[in-house]
Amino acid sequence: MRPLTPDLGLGDGESATSYAARLTQFHTGQTGLRVVQDLAIDLGAFLKGEAHAVEALAHAAGISPTELRSCSIARFSRHREFNGERLARDFVRPDGARFCASCLLEDGDRSTDRYARLLWRFRPVRLCLRHGAVLSAAETNAIGDRPLPFPGTPELERLASRAISADPTPMDRWIADRVLRQPMDQGTFLARQTLEQGVKVCEMLGATLDHGLDVTISRLSEAQLADSAAEAFEIVRQGDEAVMEALTAVRAMSVSNAGQAKFRAFYGNLYEWVRATGGDVGPGPIRDLLRDHIKARTALGLGDTVLGEEISERTMHSAYTLSRATRLHPKRLRKILVRLGIAPENCDDLDYNLLVFPVGETEQLCLDLHEAVPLSGLPGDLGCSRAQAESLCRSGFINPVVPPGEGIGRIDYARREITRVLSWLEGLPVWAPADGVDLTRAAKMTSLSTGDLLAGIRDGTIGAGRMPGAPWISAIRIRKSDIRRLQLETRGPPVSA
């Protein structure tokens, strides 16, 4: 391969295709990329950014192969690649589609002095950071990715004098730093995604926050979209937690009272974008964050699917799913939830139906209500009389699932509460003293209620045991000596005649 002489240097931040086009014009006086073929380099391989082809051109032109490769955007039929990232076709522009007239005039007087910047090839790049001006657009549309020639000096001077000034935003600088591989402070969220994904999430989030859930970003002007994206960038660069807060703000914009799984109603087109984007360029880490956001605020059952992931464990209950799980009438359930402090007292019907409760907090309640035993079932389960059962409840020796109150209706006792009392009974010493007194007699002799006697036994102030056999309340026996002591305490010393 013959080297090209004289040398033509690579411009600062010049794109590889611009360099090849400039070499062609410099050495052959023609437009296009003919020089690549003249050097017997495979043009297809060069455009695909294949190392051997790009490096061969660099060698022939006497410039650094590594530098030229770093300025190459690889072209494939369905996507582009840059910096090891896959990009959508429309995320990349051809050389010459946008340019800063002032930069080109500063490059030199000859057309071969003027070169296309790599940065100008990226769709979200609107401004020249150096001149603080909106880039000019080529008059003609490119065919494919074929480089477009720049206008002549008089037209460039006219464009430069009319360029619209604009202050570059931190987002503009971030894009430039990513493209030019400069060190940057972009936060953990942006660091986990491609440049295109990061730009897109800023655009979708910003446009939604600025223009509402139904925003269609293609209907916004370039400036509107850039403004919204730059605002969202300030949030997104702070990391995952800030993104989650922004999703909460988006969700708060929804006035929908749609039931579960109507995520579109809550997150608008932002959700649609995350849901529908796939293929070569997915939406990136926003998908996981949005899914987590939905799961934390929506009652989802087993088998429901959120953004491509099937729910394997219910994490939230809504009033509706809780009503089904407990088999309680929604009205009674609501009173119960308020009584237990799980739902706020003063929320209206609509808000109540939108409330969700962590499964962990309501799981035990569901189970307790599901297996609850009414007062009338206690004598059979605890081996006592109805009057004794009532005394136990009155004294608080056994507690209902929901404290009594208006609208609560029937008072029920959780199965685990009954089990707790039974296992306590089982733990009492087993003996059959001849002088033991059962609870019915003990209550009559001491004028104490069954509940008070049991509390005394539990606290160790009254000595008692149980008969062998089933650990029922009827099997309890209290020592006679303790009965006498209690008689003295409750009735005073016997009066001598």
Site for Zn ion in 129-168 (CB under 5 A): 130-131
> Beta partners for 476?
466
Closest CB to Zn ion among residues 106, 426: 106
Work out the angle between the directed axes of helices 450-459 and 386-395 (0-180°, nearest 10): 60
In angstroms, give the least distance from the CB of 43 to Zn ion.
30
Q: How many residues does the chain have?
A: 497
Site for Zn ion in 84-103 (CB under 5 A): 100, 102-103
In angstroms, give the least distance from the CB of 119 to Zn ion.
10
Closest CB to Zn ion among residues 96, 206: 96
Closest CB to Zn ion among residues 18, 391: 18
**CA distance linking residue 323 with residue 134, whole number of Å:** 58
Task: Locate 320 and state its tokens.
Answer: 């509706």
Closest CB to Zn ion among residues 130, 329: 130
Helix, strand counts (H, E) of the chain: 24, 15
Stretch that binds Zn ion, among 122-130, 241-249, 378-386, 408-416 (CB under 5 A): 122-130
The residues near 56 (Cβ < 8 Å, ≥ 6 apart) are 1, 39, 41
> Beta partners for 137?
98
Among 128, 319, 337, 343, binds Zn ion (CB under 5 A): 128
| Nearest of 297, 300, 323, 319 to residue 310 by alpha carbon | 300
Closest CB to Zn ion among residues 106, 310: 106
3-class secondary-structure state, position 118? coil
Stretch that binds Zn ion, among 23-31, 121-129, 176-184, 396-404 (CB under 5 A): 121-129
Q: Mark residues 43-82: x for contact with Zn ion by CB under 5 A, - for none.
A: ----------------------------------------
Task: Locate 405 and state its tokens.
Answer: 């109150």
In angstroms, give the least distance from the CB of 60 to Zn ion.
30
Size of the site for Zn ion (CB under 5 A): 6
| Nearest of 175, 236, 168 to residue 202 by alpha carbon | 236
Closest CB to Zn ion among residues 117, 237: 117
Site for Zn ion in 258-317 (CB under 5 A): none
In angstroms, give the least distance from the CB of 126 to Zn ion.
12
Closest CB to Zn ion among residues 136, 391: 136
Burial of residue 241, with CB atoms counted within 10 A of its CB: 0-12 exposed, 13-18 middle, 19 or more buried: exposed
In angstroms, give the least distance from the CB of 134 to Zn ion.
10
**Residue 337: how many other CB atoms lie within 10 Å:** 23
Question: Applying CB under 5 A, which residues contact Zn ion?
Answer: 100, 102-103, 128, 130-131
